[in-house]
Structure 1
C-alpha cells in the first residue's frame, strides 16, 4: 500500500500515490509522522484505560461460570456483534458522508475515536467477557501457562531481567512482557498470578488499537486501516490469545513487512519503525523476530539486485545493528553468561506436535479464512510486481520456508517450532485480502465481471457477495469462544492463587499452598532468595520462591544445567543418612554453584501425634485465626519415603516430557530438618545451614 502525500486528515479528496507501488485511488486520511506517533500514544492509552475499567467492572459482578452457563457467551456474542456493527456503520459514514459534504469536526473526532478503539473493544467482548467470572486467564494455570505465571510472579516480586526459576541467573526466556507485567502488578497492588489476566487483556487491546494509526499512515485510509486491524485482531484472539506476548508481535508483522520495503528504499520513518519493531520483538518473542528479520534480509538483496545499488544493503546493516542494540538489553546478560559460565543444552525447540508436521493452510480451516485466503492469493499473484504486494509475498514465502526448514530440522534432532507460524501466515493472507478488497472497491467491481455478466443484475450480484462475506466474518468473530472453549474451561476449573475455582467447585491441593508459604517464609524470613525443591509447579507459579530445579527441560535455562541437576537430585534419593544428604547438597553447591535448597516440598506421610477430638474442638477458633496452629504435631519422619517427580526430556516422542517418580528416604530427614505435614505434603525446612 502506497504512502500518500501529506494532506490534512480532515480533507476527503481523491489522490494518486506518486510512489511506485499500488496504483490506487483513496479517500485521503494521510497522517504525518508526528500525527501517527501522537495517535498511537493516545489510542494505546485509551485502550489500556478502557480495558482496565472493563476488567474491573466485569470482575465486580457475580457472573455464572462460563463452563456451567451460556450467559457470558450470549453477552460476548452480543457485544462482539455490536462492535462490528458500530465499526461498519462508522466506516460507511466516513466513506459516504451525508449529502457528500465533509463530516462536522465533532463527528470526525467521534469517528476516529471509534475506529481507534474498536479493535480493543473486540478484545474485551471476545476474551474479557467470557473470562469475567474467573481470576485466571485462558488455560488457567495448566501446562505452559503455569510457567508463564511463574515468570510474571517472579517479576512482580523482583523486577528485573532474572530467570523465572533459578536464583542469580539472567533470563533465558524473553522477558519484556513479563517485566512490564511485573511493573503493572506492583502499580496496581496485584499478586503476579492475579495480574496475568488483566495484563494479557490490556496488552492485546493496546497493540490492536495502536495498529490503526500505523495502518492509516501506511495506506492513507482510515477505513482500510480499521478493516485491516479488526480483521487481524479477530484472527489473533481466535487463534493465539493464550500467548499474548507472541500475539502482539505477530499482529504487527504484516505492517513491518510493508515498512521494510519502504525502509530499504530510503524511508527514514520506516527505518526507525523497523529498528524499534525488531528490537522490541526480540525481547518479546524471538521466533517471530527471526522470521521478520529473515524477510528483511531477503527483501534487501532483491531490492539491491533490481535497483543495482548497494544502498538497500547499507540500510539493512543500519536496521540490523540498531535493532540488535535494543535486543541486547534483554539478551545481552544471558549471552554473556553463556560465554563465560558452564551450561547445558537448550531444549526449547524440542517440541513436535502434529501441527508441526503439516504445511499451514489457514484458508482450509474456516469459510471466512478460505474467502480471505483465496482473495489474497489471487491479488498477490496478479499484483506481484507492485512493490508493496511484493513485500507481503516475500513475508509469506519466508513463513512457508521456515515451516519447510523446520520439517527438515527434525532429521537433526530439533525443530524450528513450525506450528507457531500458522498465525503469521493467516495474518499476512488476511491483510492482503483486505487490501485487495479495498482496491476492488476503489477501482470498481464491474471491471472484474465477465462481459456476459455486465447487466442490470451486476449490483445485485455484488450486493449478495458483500452480504455473504460480511455474514461469514460476523460468524467467524462471534464463534471465537467456541474455538477457545478448552482454554476457557481450564480458566474456570483450575484453582487460583487464593484457592478458589471460577466454577465454585472444591479446590485442589492449592488449598494447602498458603500454609506451606507461611511455614517456609516464617523459617527463612522471606520469600525472596529462598530456594525450594518441589515438583508442585503451581506452588512456584503462585509464590515467588526460587526453584532449585525448573519444572521441565524446554522451559529451563541452559545455564541451570537441567539434566545434571536431575542426576544430582536422583542421587540424593538413594541416601538414607541425614548428614550424608546435607553433605551431598553442599557438595553440589560447592562444585557447581547450585545454591542448596532451603526447603523441600514433597508428597508423603510423616509420623504424627493423634489429637484428642475434644482438644481438637476446643482449638477450632485458634486454628481459624492461625492455619499453622491446626497442623498435626510431627513425631518423626517415619519409615517410608517422600515422592518427587523428575521431568525427563524424551523428544522426539510426543508428549515430549515424561514425569517419573523418585522417592527420598524418610530417614534422611531425621536430623538437620524441621518437618511439617500439610495435607498430602511433607515440608522439610533445613535447620543446620
Structure 2
C-alpha cells in the first residue's frame, strides 16, 4: 500500500518534470517559446499580450470585436502574467510550459485512477512524451489533446454503461471536459464531441442488435434501456454547451447581429498534409511501431475490451473527420483535418502501451 501511494505521487510529478525539463532546459536562454514569434506563434503571443491587458475576452487584434478564438487558455495566461508581473509576450513561454506540466500531472492522476497505478503511470508519461514531440508548439491544443484518450474511455462508459445506473460520474466528467475544451480549443472539442455522438449511435445500434438476438422476452436482462445513450448524450451536450457559453457568448451575440467577419477565417487553410490521410503507424521508428501495435491491439480486442472500443472509436472519428475535411474542399473551405494527427498519434500510442502490457 505504501508503494502504491508513493507511485501515485511520483507518477504525476514525473510527467510534470518531463515537460519542464524537455522544454524548460532548451529554452532557458530565450524569453520566447518554440518557433519564436514566427507563423502561428505570432498571433498566439499577440493574443496572450491582449489577454494580459484586459480582464474581458478581447480579440487578439481588434479592440472592439469579441474573440473568434476561444479565450480560456489565454485568459488564464493573462492572469498568470499579471500575477508574476510580466508582459503578455514575456509570459507566453513560462505559461506554456507551466500549463502543459500541470495538464501532464493531472492526466497522469486520471490515468492512475482509471487503471492500476503502474500501468496508469506508464500511460500518463508515454502520452505526455508523445504530445511534447508532436503537439508542444501549440500548448493550448496539447493541454486538451492529453485528456482526449482517458475522456473517451469515460464517455464510452457514460453512453454504453454496464448497468442502467452506471456511468453517471463518467457522464459528468465528459460534460466538464467538453465544456472546458470548448473554451480552449474548438477543433479538438469538435472531434471529441463527434466521437461521443458516434459512441451513442454505436451503443444504441449494438443494444438493438443484442435485443433482437435474444428476443423480446429477454429484454429485461439488457444492461440498459434503449433510450439511455441518447438521454446521456443530450445531457452531456446541453451541459457542455452551457459551460462553453461562458467564453463563447460574446462572439455568438455579435455573430447574431452580423458583426464578425464571414470570410477570411482560419478554415481556409489547406497545406499539403491536409490532402493526405495521417498514417503514423507506417512511419517507422519507435513511435511508428508503438502506433502499429496499438492499431493491432484495438482490432484484436475490439470485442472484449471496453478500452479498445473507446480508443478505436476515437481513431475512427479522426479518419472520418479527415475524410470530411477533404470532401468539403469543393465548397471552398476545410475542417483542418491535418491538425488532428497529434491526437491520432496519442490515441494509438496509448493503445500501444496497452498492447505491450497485455503481451508482458
State whether TM-score is above 0.5: yes
1:410 equivalent to 2:325? Answer: no
Superposed, 1:508-587 pairs within 5 Å as none
Q: Residues 260 and 290 (structure 1 numbering): CA distance in 2 closer, same or farther, change over 3 Å? A: same
1:389 paired with 2:308, answer yes
| 1:273-323 Cα deviation digits (max 9, x unpaired) | 101110010011110100110110111121122224111100100000000
For 1:373, the equivalent position in structure 2 comes to 291
Which residue of structure 2 aligns with residue 249 of structure 1?
A: 144
Residue 111 (structure 1) shift: 3.1
Cα-to-partner distance string for 1:644-688 (whole Å, 9 max, x where unaligned): xxxxxxxxxxxxxxxxxxxxxxxxxxxxxxxxxxxxxxxxxxxxx
Distance in 1, matches of 2:8 and 2:194, equals 35
Equivalent-residue separation in structure 2 for 1:370 and 1:149 (angstroms): 32
Q: Distance in 2 between matches of 1:427 and 1:108?
A: 26
CA deviations on 1:620-660 (whole Å, 9 max, x unpaired) are: xxxxxxxxxxxxxxxxxxxxxxxxxxxxxxxxxxxxxxxxx
Paired with 1:127 and 1:343, the residues of 2 have a C-alpha distance of: 36
1:238 alignment partner in structure 2: 133
- CA–CA distance in 1 between the matches of 2:56 and 2:113? 35
Which is richer in helix?
A: 2
Aligned to 2:202: 302
SS of residue paired to 2:171 = helix
Please identify which structure carries the higher strand content: 1
Partner of 1:330: 247
The residue that corresponds to 2:238 in the other structure is 321
Please tell me the root mean square deviation across aligned C-alpha atoms, in Å.
Answer: 1.3
Q: CA deviation at 1:113?
A: 2.5
Q: Which runs of 5+ in 2 are unaligned?
A: 209-225
C-alpha offsets along residues 184-235 of structure 1, whole Å, 9 cap, x if unaligned?
A: 000111111110000000111111110112111212x111111111111111
How many angstroms does 1:364 deviate by? Answer: 2.8
Match of 1:482 in 2: none
The CA deviation string for residues 43-100 of structure 1, in whole angstroms up to 9 with x for no partner, is xxxxxxxxxxxxxxxxxxxxxxxxxxxxxxxxxxxxxxxxxxxxxxxxxxxxxxxxxx
> In the alignment, is residue 399 of structure 1 matched against residue 330 of structure 2?
no
Partner of 1:262: 157
**Equivalent residue runs for 1:338-349 within 5 Å:** 338-346=255-263, 347-349=265-267
Structure 2: distance between partners of 1:330 and 1:377: 36
Contact 2:7/2:117 (<8 A) preserved: no
Moved over 6 A (4+): none
Give ranges in structure 1 of 5+ residues lacking alignment: 1-9, 11-104, 442-689
Aligned 8 A contact 2:8 2:112 in 1:
no
1:220-274 deviations in whole A, cap 9, x for unaligned? x111111111111111111121110001111111111100111112412111110
> Does residue 247 of structure 2 align to residue 352 of structure 1?
no
The count of aligned residue pairs is: 336
CA–CA separation in structure 2 for the residues paired with 1:306 and 1:360: 29
Structure 1 match to 2:211:
none
1:541-593 Cα distance to aligned partner (Å, 9 max, x none): xxxxxxxxxxxxxxxxxxxxxxxxxxxxxxxxxxxxxxxxxxxxxxxxxxxxx
TM-score, length basis structure 2: 0.90
CA contact (8 A) 2:51 2:77 kept: yes
- TM-score (norm. length: structure 1): 0.48
For residues 276 and 226 of structure 1, the distance between their equivalents in structure 2, rounded to whole angstroms, comes to 23
**d(CA) in 2 for partners of 1:432, 1:396:** 10
